[in-house]
Structure 1
């Protein structure tokens, strides 16, 4: 008995997944003789080029044609009479199309019944047109030849423009690739560019399934990394089940057989990296692929997959570095019995203020990662000073102040940007705007921006948190104190930026509470 499971049929394609009929080529006939319009449309009624029919627009004067041209940017071919309301109406319109309307796409074929009015040699030389015909010449055969030639030129101009646009997007996307999350615009731009270079009328998407080594949070899931316009809504989809049935079936088959598939006008490219990640490219095509096209698409799959893996690896290393810094900083803070979330709140408060100041995203992220290192120097302060519940005496206070220099000394040994920024913050986060801080007595903008930001964030969080030497202040009282110290302890501009973002600061404390901090309701 035959098991039904042995039969593997592709799902039926739904109406929504069938390729839509391609838009027709738009032809503008400009002639003051109605019979010319009628004959042209009748003779060319069954004409097709690249699988697309024709759609005619009609103008019976140059003035009427101007109105139509200003309302359409998709006219492929203009059949333009020379003599209409004036003896040079067509010539004047041809020049206006190119020079005033800046339309270099549309192909212009001049047609005249009075060749003596505009000699062919002079017209071809003086006007940016693509062909010049006497009306008596335009038999059906010659008209068909003219249409083929003009539409090929228009198609190729569009392909060049679209390739240039896609190339620009690719270059911009390359510049903006910072992490795995930013690869989608890059991959989509490159996919569009590849299709244009191949001359493909295609819709489709590219997806990647990453192995465990890259990042735990993406392991085993299918991520759509690139899509043409028809599938752009799937760029946020994560799971195979969310894809259209025909695409899901094609991906399943390619993964099961571990090879690229070509079935009619559907192509699925399969690529496995040396690290085991799988790339899948689905394209619904208007015409079959040749061997060169398939090779280029496979190169696309391979290169985007390798780029994505590299970005994931870099992101994983960055996250590991971030977590290591936070854990180390928390360990130091716990020696003085401060809440473990203190360093995380300092990081987020600093990033909030850095963003508000106008720092670029990369600088904000560096500040977020370096800020938790501000008190690393406390590792060199004895426990009896750190944990003393009362006021420190002069000697103890002098020893406590040395944590700024100790942290700077430890961190400045590294050449890593994050640690060097952390060294600067460690040294300067107890400086004051009025010059009364320590250890250097710096004043105003001689204190680095990072030092000024972390100084404000550190004091605010210390005020609203319990410490061994004091009870926490309520949030509003702490904010009032910060405002009162504008221009004294803190940079006035930073205080204003903080005041303007009080709700965001409250939300931050809700997101990063700890056992020693007030509950959200207390705020």
Structure 2
């Protein structure tokens, strides 16, 4: 899954000053307001007064100070409405709907108050001298503007948070494994709850009576899930006892009893007091991703069933020629290993491993007398035997499923030869699909290294000599070099799956 920014990822939010920008006005007015606001606080935050007079100064302040709560815009009688152009610049050019704009106008503009309020996107209209001699009235009016800015930003932040939860909930659908999904969930929860990067968290899952850890961070990485009690409440009590760094003794937890599947527990340390809104977001996110966990579990179950069916189909073909089910298992493992060594992505290598067991599925249409003949086949019998490649392709080609489409290619081309002269199409070089070239090496290697009804297994030195001799003739030279270079890994697979029936 691609990395994308988290909420408050760089730094946890800190309380700062309220930024107030005075546009216009003289230096005396600025000093007077600075003196008036000295020591004044709203919600434990003091005031920071900024001043800009020229257009260049105004643009610079608006560009560099991204958290301006209030703009006090002076409207002089002598300058006309020129100052009001800054309203459009702020709202439209900068797309800043949050800042509260207060117009402080000369008394000459008193009659135009309604017109200005209707024609410009400002929040308050005041006349100069309105607060003379009454600092409390000015501060009360300022508090109203600051509250408006605070509430607007809160709503805006909540919307962004909802968008983030929706985005992160949808992106976890791309997770390829339960562990990857659980890691993403912890990372996103830490962002929603605004915890420190070092804060701990974990995702546990219980299959049957045993807990296992899907993901962990902080000190919980060291936790041994086998040591956890069986009951959920006992697990939570244990985690809370060790939750020393959290400002909230309970931390944040989400329990999924999952009636139809495994039980899950998500636990995250809370290093600062989350708001009710953050708790709501975290719980909503967990509820959304809970369905993803269930779907991923179901997908893995379907894939396991599909894999078993594919191996069974491959075994049917092999047992008709008195070969073992481990032949298809070994070929699957060989093709995956060679695909990875060649540089194919893990997902594509897995696809090849799933599809390759059906390489000889066309043998179901060949009679036993030919398949199990101990002696040399006649030309007519050999021609019939070669038909299994085309027959297997015809069986599989109609499916639109990636596994069966891949299996169709392999069934058709795994007997083609890199230097030409193979069957059924007589292809050569890279005309042969990479999947066919990979499976050809895997299939021949296992055939030579195994006892068959018509022969005994070859000694390994003779097998190696044949592959060297057939490099660039029967087999793709690059793949042959990779196979021989990593022969010990192929022999490990061969030793792991000895000839006995398993499916």
TM range (shorter): 0.5 to 0.7
Q: Which residue pairs with 2:206 in the alignment? A: 211
Q: Aligned equivalents of 2:485 and 2:79: distance in 1?
A: 73
Quote the offset at 1:370 in angstroms.
0.9
- Listed one character per residue, the Cα deviations across residues 417-468 of structure 1 (whole Å, up to 9, x for unaligned) are 63565355324444689997544x4879xx9x9x823222133446777565
| Relative contact order higher in (CA < 8 Å, ≥ 6 apart) | 2
Q: Compare CA radii of gyration and give the structure with the larger one.
A: 2
Q: Aligned equivalents of 1:252 and 1:340: distance in 2?
A: 41
Match of 2:410 among 403, 420, 425: 425
Match of 1:397 among 378, 382, 385: 382
Change (3 A) 1:302 1:206: farther
Pair 1:455 & 2:462 matched? no
| Superposition map of 1:304-343 within 5 A | 304-305=289-290, 307-319=292-304, 321-322=306-307, 325=310, 332=318, 335=323, 341-343=330-332
Q: TM-score, normalised by structure 1?
A: 0.63
Q: Aligned equivalents of 1:39 and 1:456: distance in 2?
A: 84
Quote the offset at 1:350 in angstroms.
5.2
Q: Aligned equivalents of 1:345 and 1:47: distance in 2?
A: 72
Pair 1:220 & 2:195 matched? no
Q: Which residue pairs with 1:106 in the alignment? A: 99
Quote the offset at 1:152 in angstroms.
1.8
Q: Aligned equivalents of 1:265 and 1:45: distance in 2?
A: 36
Partner of 1:79, secondary structure, is strand
Work out the number of aligned pairs and report it: 447
Partner of 2:73, secondary structure, is strand
Q: Which residue pairs with 2:6 in the alignment? A: none
Partner of 2:464, secondary structure, is coil
Stretches of structure 2 lacking an aligned partner (at least 5 in a row): 1-10, 132-137, 226-232, 450-456, 496-503
- Listed one character per residue, the Cα deviations across residues 473-509 of structure 1 (whole Å, up to 9, x for unaligned) are 58777664479x8xxxxxxxxx9xx68x987x78876
Q: Aligned equivalents of 2:313 and 2:333: distance in 1?
A: 12
Q: TM-score, normalised by structure 2?
A: 0.65
Quote the offset at 1:71 in angstroms.
2.7
Q: Which residue pairs with 1:90 in the alignment? A: 83
Contact 1:354 1:367 in 2 (8 A): no
Q: Which residue pairs with 1:130 in the alignment? A: 123
Using the TM superposition, name which of 377-386 and 396-405 deviates more.
377-386
Match of 1:277 among 246, 263, 275: 263
Taking only aligned residues, the RMSD between alpha carbons, in angstroms, comes to: 5.5
Contact 1:76 1:154 in 2 (8 A): no
Pair 1:43 & 2:37 matched? yes
Q: Aligned equivalents of 2:373 and 2:39: distance in 1?
A: 92
Change (3 A) 1:85 1:115: closer
Change (3 A) 1:69 1:295: closer
Change (3 A) 1:515 1:128: closer
